[in-house]
Structure 1
Amino acid sequence: MSTCARSSQVEDSGTAGSPRTIKSRVLDTGASLVQDFTPVKQVCAHLHAFHVYANDPTRCVEANHYCTHLTEDIRQCLIYDSPDHNARLIGIEYMVSPRVFVTLPQEERKLWHTHEFEVKSGLLIMPAPAGVPTSVWEAAETAEMRDVVPLYGKTYHLWQVDRGDPVPMGPPQLMGSFTTHGSVKMAHEKGLDGLLTGRNQKFGVDHHQKAKMRENIPGVEKHPDADAALK
């Protein structure tokens, strides 16, 4: 299935299993009041982008990143198919600074992707919370994008929701980001246009406007080993 697909609500997506029972909901509510979720509480940023399959760049999926900073050089992100309460956890992404990236073995570096194009094109956004003035949030988002531009990411998806799998099936899939206008055009022909339009409407953004706002973000010197899986 070589198409871009926006995930729907879990109840409508063919996910395996019966609807949640009242007992299940009550038990979860009780646990949330007494247990400590420290690792999850360290999430400090929600980034929205689109990931492409390394073995088939015409396939792409919505990727909501919920990221934690381990250090100034390493971030780790949980990837969900939507920002909704019943979102499916579909993958993980690690991001590292250039100074960490260059220490990796050459074969390892080939598994990592760059972020400059998706930042500068407006494909990567940081959705604004309700009630925050647009001008204030845009300044914060642009600052975040400056920090993300030089980072390298390694992403695996475990659940291929775009093909309708009811549970995570098969081996993990190496994913990448859009890195050129050519890759975007190829994906547009397979459905990215509708996916991007839906994202823009959902969060009230215009990626063309985002691109203009980010024109002054300096470019970076990308390591030649990065993005190899998508070439």
Structure 2
Amino acid sequence: MEKAVHSSTTSGPAVPGEATKTGTSIIDTAASTVQSFAPVNQIHQHLCAFHFYADDMARQVEAHHFCSHVNEEMRQCLIYDGPDANARLIGLEYIVSEKLFMTLPDEEKKLWHSHEWEVKGGFLFMPGVPGAIQRQDLDKVAKTYGKVFHFWQVDLGHELPIGLPNVMMAVTRDGQLFHEMIQEAEKRFGVSVEGERDSRAYMTGPELGIHPLANGGGKGMKLELREVDIKPVESVGSVFV
């Protein structure tokens, strides 16, 4: 049986496969000179936070978000297990304003987590950005909600993304995160959770308060796969023989 351990670095197992060949690198370089990569080039922000599995709080992962604004009320983030060039893409997160969150169906709200304590507690930060500057934006983030799925279970040492996507949640109070994981991050990025907590005391969360259905409605959540009948396109007939 696999043993879950919290992950806070990119020192996991190497991804299997041949090293990238010179010919492949040349083709990549040539393609990059004529393609725009417009969606990726919109990324403007690096946020470091900590996620836990929605069905198992003991499984915790350091998550590096590389985010772009869709508009003033929504961001979309690619999530890696570290900030380095060899980091693995492990998930994604959508971040919306309280106004947009309130338009969601009640069943959907359960998949979203609040950011108030994650921000005010000092557990979410922008590596390398002076505190006074990052707090200007994090004051806005504290009022938002996020929906996260992880596809690669790096905390189990998986060499490849195996299994179903996992719903992830964020910290909502003290005592939920491994202390040693926080200490490791503080040392590597030169930040102080306690110091930021004091500096962010003035911040507030959602105007209406944290919605009772957010954060899984206080219950664990896990995706399950089940077989269903496939509805064929009428003009094509059965999809499979």
Tell me the TM-score normalised to structure 2 length.
0.84
1:77-132, Cα deviation, whole Å (9 max, x unpaired): 00001110111110010011111111111010011000111111111001125xxx
Aligned partner letter, 2:164: P
Q: Is the 1:176–1:230 Cα contact (8 Å) retained in structure 2?
A: no
Instruction: Give the alignment partner of residue 183 of structure 1, picking from 176, 190, 197.
Output: 176
Aligned partner letter, 2:86: N
Q: Does 1:222 align with 2:206?
A: no
Q: Is the 2:148–2:169 Cα contact (8 Å) retained in structure 1?
A: yes
- Report the secondary structure of 1:107's partner residue: helix
Q: What is the rounded CA distance, in whole Å, between the counterparts of 1:229 and 1:174 in structure 2?
A: 13
* 1:72-111 superposed matches below 5 A: 72-111=72-111
- Report the secondary structure of 1:47's partner residue: strand
Q: What is the rounded CA distance, in whole Å, between the counterparts of 1:173 and 1:138 in structure 2?
A: 32
Q: Does 1:144 align with 2:137?
A: yes
* 1:97-136 superposed matches below 5 A: 97-128=97-128
Q: Is the 2:148–2:168 Cα contact (8 Å) retained in structure 1?
A: yes
- Report the secondary structure of 1:28's partner residue: helix
What stretches of structure 2 of length at least 5 have no aligned partner?
220-241
Shift, 1:229, TM fit: 5.6
* 1:48-59 superposed matches below 5 A: 48-59=48-59
Q: Does 1:194 align with 2:187?
A: no
Between the two proteins, what is the percent identity of the paired residues?
A: 42
Which has the larger helix fraction?
1
The aligned counterpart of 1:4 is 6
Aligned partner letter, 2:30: G
Shift, 1:182, TM fit: 3.6
Q: What is the rounded CA distance, in whole Å, between the counterparts of 1:201 and 1:28 in structure 2?
A: 36
Q: What is the rounded CA distance, in whole Å, between the counterparts of 1:14 and 1:44 in structure 2?
A: 28
> Number of aligned pairs?
215
The aligned counterpart of 2:152 is 159
Aligned partner letter, 2:117: F
Shift, 1:230, TM fit: 5.2
Aligned partner letter, 2:191: V
Tell me the TM-score normalised to structure 1 length.
0.88
What stretches of structure 1 of length at least 5 have no aligned partner?
130-136
Q: Is the 2:10–2:87 Cα contact (8 Å) retained in structure 1?
A: no
Shift, 1:35, TM fit: 1.3
* 1:204-215 superposed matches below 5 A: 204-215=190-201
Q: What is the rounded CA distance, in whole Å, between the counterparts of 1:98 and 1:125 in structure 2?
A: 20
Q: What is the rounded CA distance, in whole Å, between the counterparts of 1:33 and 1:55 in structure 2?
A: 44
Q: Is the 1:46–1:64 Cα contact (8 Å) retained in structure 2?
A: yes
Aligned partner letter, 1:110: K
Query: Structure with the greater relative contact order (CA < 8 A, sep ≥ 6): 1 or 2?
Result: 1
